[in-house]
Amino acid sequence: MDVALQRLLLGRDGRSQMLTGLRGVGKTVLLVEFETLAESREYFHEHIEVSEDGVLAPELVGAFRRVLLAMDAKRRIGERVRRALGILKAFSLKLPDGLEISIDVDAVAGPADSGNLSSDLAALFVEVGEVARAYDTGVLITIDELHYVDYATLTALITGLHRASQLNLPITVAGAGLPSLAALTGDVKTYAERLFEFSTIGSLSDELASSALTIPALDEGVTWEEGALARTREASRGFPYFIQEFGKAAWNLADGPDRITLDDVERSMPLAIAQLDDGFFRVRIGKTNDSERAYLRAMAELGRGPVNSADVAKILGKTTNALGPTRDALIRRAMCFSPRRGLIEFTVPLFDEYMIRLMPQI
């Protein structure tokens, strides 16, 4: 990411970033790191977290507005920013809710108010990018939960980035979402693979998982027994968030004074699992209905995913067509995703184990 930021400031091409992976693997943490890199390069940056309704365009309007105002406050560039804000205002009036951005400028008709989201958003990327280039700076927009965005808006976002890239403007996006995002992005525009650097974030290797536990402990003069490390790696399946939770529970319950043992880990495991159930898993199943929970439980019965949709249907004694609406609802809610045709997988690691604890019987 740092190389791309530097290249953009030099007027060269630099790929936007797209992070994909299951929940709890550290995608959001990496977006924060990208923001830190941008600050070190004197970029202006804003962050967007897409909600389940998938609305992005108004959030981009707000992000661009804040970027332009921050540029003006720091660089005192006056009229150039006022024009860009006027174009942004005209764009906002064409959105479905028609809300006008709250700033004392007149709307500038023409560049971004045709009503065609793709061309208008491209014009906004160009306008903001040109302001940044004129004043020797750059813009980074980070977007989390990008998998929620609808097809038309994702198309418009990629079109906007493509146009800015063609002009070598110093504006870029770092997005993050579930594994289905990479395929969806590729389907939207064939040139997406040239615009984005795709990175899949997954579980850690045994070496890295152990380091995540031992290095912070060594700073406090504490070591981990190899058996304790192996058990924690096994329970967490190497996923960063779960390593953190299991490690914290073991640390808090360890007899010490300077060593964490396998017995410490085993004793702390029920507490760590209870904390995950109450604070991580339960919130994700709260909005599901009985048929959706039954579908998730049938998936869990088949073990670690991905699993075949036909096998899920067989367990439930129904046809795949009859269960299609339930499956689609779970995918829309980002509880599951389909890695390829006919397969279904949880978006949350260890969710199969949680469903079995929650519903011992199907």
- List Cβ neighbours of 59 (8 Å cut-off, separation of 6 or more): 48, 50
Question: Can you give the pLDDT of all 362 residues of the chain as single tens digits?
Answer: 999 999 998 888 888 889 999 988 889 999 999 999 999 999 999 999 999 888 899 899 999 999 998 988 876 667 888 889 888 888 888 776 655 566 677 778 888 888 888 899 999 999 999 999 988 899 999 999 999 998 888 888 988 988 998 999 999 999 999 988 876 776 666 666 678 888 889 899 999 999 999 999 999 999 999 999 999 999 999 999 999 999 999 999 998 799 999 999 999 999 999 999 998 999 889 889 999 999 999 999 999 879 999 999 999 999 999 999 999 999 988 899 998 889 999 999 999 999 999 999 87
What does the CA dihedral 141, 142, 145, 146 come to, rounded to 10 degrees?
A: 50
What tokens appear for 118 in the block? 């793709």
Domains of the chain with bracketed CATH: 2-200 (3.40.50.300), 206-284 (1.10.8), 286-358 (1.10.10.10)
Residue whose pair of structure tokens reads 């939960």 in the numeric block:
145
What per-residue confidence (pLDDT) applies to 97? 65
What tokens appear for 212 in the block? 């995540």
Nearest to 160 by CA among 181, 182, 141: 141
- List Cβ neighbours of 115 (8 Å cut-off, separation of 6 or more): 94
Return d(Cα 329, Cα 335) in angstroms, integer.
9
For β-strands 259-260 and 223-224, DSSP reports them as: parallel
What per-residue confidence (pLDDT) applies to 98? 54
Nearest to 147 by CA among 181, 173, 174: 181
pTM of the model: 0.86
- CA separation, residue 347 to residues 107, 182, 206, 246 (Å): 43, 14, 22, 20
- Whether the Cβ atoms of residue 92 and residue 99 lie closer than 8 Å to each other: yes
In terms of C-beta density within 10 A (0-12 exposed, 13-18 middle, 19 or more buried), how is residue 78 classed? Answer: exposed
Helix (H, G, I), strand (E, B) or coil at 177: strand
Peptide bond into 360 cis (omega under 30): no
- Which secondary-structure segment (H or E) carries 264? helix 262-276
